[in-house]
Amino acid sequence: MRDWREALTAAVPRVVLDEPLARYTTFKIGGPADAFLDARERDEVRVALRAARAVGVPVFVLGWGSNLLVKDRGVRGLVLRLTGEFEKVSFPGGDRARAGAAVRVPQLVVACAEKGLSGLEPIVGVPGTVGGALAMNAGTRDGEIGPAVLEIEAADPADGSVRVLPREALSFSYRHGPVGGLVALSCLLQLKPGIKGDIMSAVARYQQKRLQTQPVHTFNVGSTFKNPPGRFAAQLIEQLGLKGHAIGGARVSPVHANFIENFAGAKASDVLALVDLIRERARATFGVALELEMRVVGE
């Protein structure tokens, strides 16, 4: 029998083999994808999903890699990333926006602000894509993407078919969105009319606050852990005396204790060792089980 990778590249010639993934993540960490495709249009997504299904390999959808720790030996199967036609924002009227899944969140928020549409300002500093924001219900204490989402267009890896999930079928919770197992292609958002200048000022305020409180210029993936009910993960980690603590090339950020930074060529194993240490100490000292917010993929 032919190698599955040969069969996959025969069906989808733009598939690249053994593509290093570190460059596609904000951590700059991670081994290669067996097979990788930057899909530019719906038809390519459909063909790739069907081909992966036919050869029996899993598909992982990569956004901006801003919430991902890719393990050192990489990801088995096909890694799919959206580009091209998925990078567009349009305004169909009725205070709505339609955003492709590959649009970057800050770009979407600013495009809405320029149209005098409000509702997404608190998430302007989330560096990922719309697809990633839907998967994670990206947000801050001041607001999440979920409440604005009217529908999601998604492809099903089982057969490549595309369907529209209406508002009633969508359930968002803290850092959890409704696209598990599907490939989000676009979404329709309901916004509120506002005054462009006021919306822009709010956007600038949220950006400024982030620059002051987060290590935005380092290699990281934002919050490592979800906040446990009624508490803040950063505060707990700080109280454990672990702010600045390093293992290999990874350290707890000296600026924000719930961020881990790759400050010196860290391996995924360094990050995971730090995660284990923090969890063990938090359990032993506070009796708190910290749950990961960043997603870990690969082997």
Ligand X SMILES: Cc1cc2nc3c(=O)[nH]c(=O)nc-3n(C[C@H](O)[C@H](O)[C@H](O)COP(=O)(O)OP(=O)(O)OC[C@H]3O[C@@H](n4cnc5c(N)ncnc54)[C@H](O)[C@@H]3O)c2cc1C
Binding interface with ligand X (CB under 6 A): 26, 60-68, 82, 101, 125-129, 131-133, 135-136, 138-140, 179, 183-184, 214, 216, 220-222, 295
Kindly tell me which of 62 and 108 has the beta carbon lying closer to ligand X. Answer: 62
CB atoms within 10 A of CB 84: 14
- Render the burial of 168-183: b for 16+ CB within 10 Å, e for the rest: eebebeebebbbeebb
Q: How far is the CB of 276 from ligand X (least distance, A)?
A: 21
Those residues with Cβ within 8 angstroms of residue 89's Cβ, 6 or more apart along the chain or in another chain: 97, 98, 99, 100, 103, 107, 108, 111
32 or 139: whose CB is closer to ligand X? 139
What stretch of H or E contains 168? Answer: none
The residue among 94 and 180 lying less far from ligand X, judged by its C-beta, is 180
- The residues carrying an active-site annotation are 175, 223, 293
Rounded Cα–Cα distance for residues 291 and 96 (Å): 35
**Residue 98 C-beta: closest distance to ligand X, Å:** 15
DSSP codes joined into one string, 224-256:
SBPPPTTS-HHHHHHHTT-TT-EETTEEE-SS-
The tokens describing 5, both together, are 């990778």
Our CB check for ligand X shows the closer of 45 and 281 to be 45
The nearest distance, CB 40 to ligand X, in angstroms, is 14
Backbone angles phi, psi at 34, to 5 degrees: -50, -50
Smallest distance from ligand X to CB 2, Å: 28
Residue 86 phi/psi, 5-degree rounding, is: -85, 5
